[in-house]
Amino acid sequence: MAEGGGNRQHPHNLQGILRMAVEAGSASDAPAPSEPMSEERKTWLREALAEVCKGQKDEVEQMKECLAVLRRDGTKGREGEEEEEEREDALELLSELCENLDNARDLMVLGGLDLCFSQCLSDPQGGVRWRAAQLIASCAQNMPEVQCHLLNQGALSRLLHLTDTDPQPTVRVKALYAVSCLVREQEAGLRAFLSLDGFSVLMRGMQSDIEKLRTKSAFLLVNLLTAHPEHRDTVLAMGMVQQLVSVLHSPHSPFHEHVLGALCCLVDDCTQGVKDCQSPALGLKELLNQKTNELKGKVECQEELEFCERLLKACFQGQPPDDNGMDR
């Protein structure tokens, strides 16, 4: 092939693809010259390539059909429960299809994300609301173009509101998942999150009685503080240390590991964070010593134990022992 062959244009139709495949076969470095492709082989290749292209087209058509279901007004003679199931099925199929990033972009172009945001997130049925939040999360993951579109539409504010106040636990959990997909590793999303007082939403999430919401709120807090330690002062000014320690005084839960991790983020190379933790009113020193004794020997709690030991060292090392001779 000539040196300038790298400038060849890629074919834009099946005939061009077929021609390129035939030429590639003829230019093979095999020791023996390859035989010309048979008509049967050409037919098979043509059909196979057509099926690939058809599959992508079919997925776009499926998305259009799902959007038609979501856009329908009223029951049109159907039972309300049946209509709800159809909308839920449509949203689930869209989420599945949009795991493919090309489909997520196509859905945005088709107006599907705008419909999801403006209509489905406000649907009276919780099953529709949480599936809409799930769809937004599926489309926003690792897709800056989609993230920016959703942020410009004000989706983050709506999702934070659902995380904070929706009466359905699953909606709150899925909405927080979508929030995470819009703010992690996304500077514009993080700025919007800060302007909307997102850290307060996470604080209240950790204080809720929904186990998954507590865990995911704490996990996102740790992730954001680890990636953006410059925002620790904002969090400390909110009284986050006091709130986190209060959570730790509740009956033990696996999500305490993330709470302790967040505290570690707040005290690492941070004088104010250490000072807040040392407040006698919090009783953190006693609590950490108690937890350390309870967690020793439990393999499944090893990371939580390490967080306790890090906090004791960062905040209380060198302090005099209690009257009973033990560091509290």
**pLDDT of res. 320:** 59
Taking alpha carbons only, the member of 174, 151, 153, 155 closest to residue 163 is: 174
More confident residue, 16 or 132: 132
Q: Give the lowest-confidence range in 38-42, 116-120, 198-202.
A: 38-42
Taking alpha carbons only, the member of 194, 279, 199, 190 closest to residue 235 is: 199
- Note the Cα 223 to chain centre separation in Å: 11
**pLDDT of res. 75:** 47
Q: Is the pLDDT of residue 20 over 80?
A: no
Q: How confident is the model at residue 207 (pLDDT cuts 50, 70, 90)?
A: very high
Per-residue pLDDT of 21-70, as tens digits, reads 555 555 544 454 456 667 777 676 666 665 555 455 589 999 999 999 99
Average pLDDT rounded to a whole number, residues 4-17:
47
Which burial class, exposed, middle or buried, applies to 22 when counting CB atoms under 10 A from its CB (0-12, 13-18, 19+)?
middle
- What is the C-alpha to C-alpha distance for residues 114 and 121, in angstroms, rounded to an integer? 10
Q: Is the pLDDT of residue 85 over 80?
A: yes
Q: Is the pLDDT of residue 255 over 50?
A: yes
Check if the beta carbon of residue 261 is closer than 8 Å to that of residue 307: yes
Average pLDDT rounded to a whole number, residues 129-147:
95
What Å distances lie between residue 223 and 140, 277, 298, 327, CA to CA?
18, 20, 25, 31
Taking alpha carbons only, the member of 149, 137, 161 closest to residue 111 is: 149
Taking alpha carbons only, the member of 2, 55, 54, 44 closest to residue 21 is: 44
**pLDDT of res. 56:** 53
Would you state the structure tokens that stand for residue 230, as one six-digit string? 């410059």
Distant-in-sequence, close-in-space partners of 234: CB < 8 Å, separation ≥ 6: 194, 199
**pLDDT of res. 156:** 97
Check if the beta carbon of residue 189 is closer than 8 Å to that of residue 183: yes
Q: How confident is the model at residue 18 (pLDDT cuts 50, 70, 90)?
A: low
Q: Is the pLDDT of residue 4 over 60?
A: no
The pTM of this model reads 0.78
Q: What would the 3-class secondary structure string for the chain be? A: CCHHHHHCCCCCCHHHHHHHHHHHHHCCCCCCCCCCCCHHHHHHHHHHHHHHHHHHHHHHHHHHHHHHHHHCCCCCCCCHHHHHHHHHHHHHHHHHHCCCHHHHHHHHHCCHHHHHHHCHHHCCCHHHHHHHHHHHHHHHCCCHHHHHHHHHCCHHHHHHHHHHHCCCHHHHHHHHHHHHHHHCCCHHHHHHHHHCCHHHHHHHHHCCCCHHHHHHHHHHHHHHHHHCHHHHHHHHHCCHHHHHHHHHCCCCCCCHHHHHHHHHHHHCCCHHHHHHHCCHHHCHHHHHHHHHHHHCCCHHHHHHHHHHHHHHHHHHCCCCCCCCCCCC
The percentage of the chain sitting over the pLDDT mark of 90, rounded to a whole number, equals 71
Crossing angle between the packed helical segments 126-140 and 144-152, to the nearest 10 degrees: 130
Count of Cβ atoms closer than 10 Å to residue 248 Cβ = 19
Check if the beta carbon of residue 147 is closer than 8 Å to that of residue 139: no
**pLDDT of res. 58:** 86
- Give the CATH superfamily of 86-196: Leucine-rich Repeat Variant (1.25.10.10)
Boundaries of every domain in the chain: 86-196
Q: Is the pLDDT of residue 90 over 50?
A: yes
Per-residue pLDDT of 293-303, as tens digits, reads 999 989 999 99
Check if the beta carbon of residue 267 is closer than 8 Å to that of residue 314: yes
